[in-house]
Amino acid sequence: MKKIISLVIVTMIILSIILTGCSAAKNADNANTDTNSNTNSSTDAAKDSEKSKKTEIIFAQKADIVSLDPHATNDSPSANLTRQIYSSLVKTNVDMEYEGDLAESWSILSPTEWEFKLRKGVKWHDGSDFKASDVKFSIERQKQGPKVKHLVNMITEVKVIDDYTVVLVTDKPCGPLLANLAHSASRIVPEKACTEYGDKFAEHPTGTGPMKFVEWIPGDRVVLERFNDYFEGQPATERLVMRVIPEGTSRTIALETGEVDLILDVEPVDKEKIESNKGLKLYEKMSNRTEWLSLNNKKAPFDNKLVRKAINHAIDKQAVIEVATDGRGMVANTVIGPTVLGYNPDVPVYDYNPEKAKELLKEAGYPDGFTTTLWSSGDVRNRAAEVIQANLADVGITANIELMEWGAYLDKTSAGEHNMHLLGWSNLTGDGDGGMYPNFHSSSQGAAGNKCFFENKEVDRLLEAGRTETDFAKRPKYYQDAQLIIMEEAAMVPLYFQPTEIGARADLKGVELHPGSLHRFHMLHY
């Protein structure tokens, strides 16, 4: 079996809305173009020399991590750090192809048995040897994590054949097994360190990845350093620092001044500023991310399908895109986007129709609307919330906006305390299973992802069938059919498909964009 297996990617990106590829400012010009000036040459050489000596790369993101234990969380800010510390059996590259990570190769022994040959000579950050027993321990540990167990709950047994061979046994054939093993939450952790530190392992994260943990100052920064024994070769980045800068414009200012070298979560209003600055560069690529308005299907009045349909018709999605993202996005018709296997382009969009929304509310028994709450976290979502609030007011629904800190936001929505809240989902694997099973299967309600608390037996059946189907040509149909039901039930309000952007210093080398936001930073350097 080939070590690299390409995903089936549906390419339906609307070019008039979203620019594909990378858009970038030109490299900074010299202040004086007189090439005969020895003074200028010396100055430029000195600046280049200083850059080349820079040993610390700093990137900024909008929210702090929740945990550095990959089996304890599935949020994006945390994944940005765990990706640097840990490795998985397999990974996806920037083209969403499967490649070996800790596994050198794999083969299918039977419909329910996968054999993985592991790399030899791999070291943990504490200097101990990586072995097959760590894989067994990690998968069994992950199955105990409520936020991440859905990725491996089909694995019934991990057989350790020898120190460098494992066989994964599944209860049924599993089409997305490789995809799930490539997920940020499916990192391999060391049995020895996990046993030693117990519940405190997140404070002593130990991996086989390119960067080693140094310190975490909550609300401020995480510091990592180069792991010289990394099995893929010595990283270019000597020291990697993640800074928490919640406000978007502040992140951009930090990039402009050189306080940071790279920023994630580029604010739409700041993109032009980055593009027009010769000292900066904007990297942009269509992502696997969908932004949506989650409706708690277990709480009145959102347990009424007519109310949920009314809200879908009440929201002007294009206005949300214009205000929240400065027009950069694609109106979403369904729950997974065009770059994800199983996307259904034929799911009809709920048109913006306030009068239809009013009719549905009246039919549902709410002719005068109702009062509720709308939770949000983050600048972009806060702007989206204001548009949605105004849209809902037009049809008689009073939605009081409540802003929350990211960690509390995740905890409270996982517990089902919300009425409505804004959230997005980065499909890290590019597979329909990764975007739909955690968000819409009834067994995934709460922390795993299904924060709509949606439940439908036919959707469960289709998602389970999509998992057990191993013919990639047949798998998309299950997810496409499930999307039709989910949107007919109006489980939530899909808002837009989102590109991913990174802002960086123009002379920073080694920047890569991963469609699933699994960016690797260990090769960043000047």
What tens-digit pLDDT sequence spans the chain (526 residues)?
434 334 333 333 333 333 333 333 333 333 333 333 333 444 444 455 455 568 899 999 999 999 999 999 888 899 999 999 999 999 999 888 899 999 999 999 999 999 999 999 999 999 999 999 999 999 999 999 998 998 999 999 999 999 999 999 999 999 999 999 999 999 999 999 999 999 999 999 999 999 999 999 999 999 999 999 999 999 999 999 999 999 999 999 999 999 999 999 898 889 889 999 999 999 998 888 899 999 999 999 999 999 999 999 999 999 999 999 888 889 999 999 998 999 999 999 999 999 999 999 999 999 999 999 999 998 889 999 999 999 999 999 999 999 999 889 999 999 999 999 999 888 888 899 988 999 999 999 998 899 999 999 999 999 999 999 989 899 999 999 999 999 999 999 999 998 889 999 999 999 999 888 789 999 999 9
Residue 386 is classified by DSSP as H
User: How confident is the model at residue 518, as a pLDDT?
Assistant: 84
Give the H or E element holding residue 486.
helix 475-488
Please tell me the distance from the alpha carbon of residue 264 to that of residue 422, in angstroms, as a whole number.
19
Asked if residues 185 and 71 have their Cβ atoms less than 8 Å apart, the reply is: yes
User: 263 pairs with which residues across the strands?
Assistant: 60, 503
* Strand partners of residue 162: 165
pTM for the predicted model, two decimal places: 0.76
The CA distances from residue 212 to 76, 125, 200, 238, in Å, are: 19, 7, 17, 10
E strands along 245-312, which residues?
262-263, 280-295
Domains annotated for the chain, with CATH where assigned, are: 76-196 (3.90.76.10), 287-499 (3.10.105.10)
HSE at residue 75, side-chain half, CA atoms within 13 A, is 23
Nearest to 442 by CA among 461, 428, 429, 426: 461
Query: What pLDDT does residue 378 have?
Result: 85
Q: Got the DSSP string for 297-333? A: TTSTTTTSHHHHHHHHHH--HHHHHHHHHTT-SEE-S
Residues ≥6 apart with Cβ < 8 Å to 202: 67, 68, 69, 72
| 3-state SS assignment for residue 133 | helix
β-strands 371-376, 398-403: how paired? parallel
The whole-number pLDDT of residue 173 equals 95
Positive or negative CA dihedral for 500, 377, 217, 185? Answer: negative
Q: What pLDDT is stored for residue 19 in this prediction?
A: 35
pLDDT of residue 500: 86
pLDDT at 21: 38
Looking at 143-200, list the stretches that DSSP marks H as alpha helix, in order from N- to C-terminal side: 177-181, 191-197
Q: Note the pLDDT of residue 322.
A: 94
Grouping H, G, I as helix, E, B as strand and the rest as coil, residue 15 is coil
Task: Give residue 257's identity as a one-letter amino acid code.
Answer: T
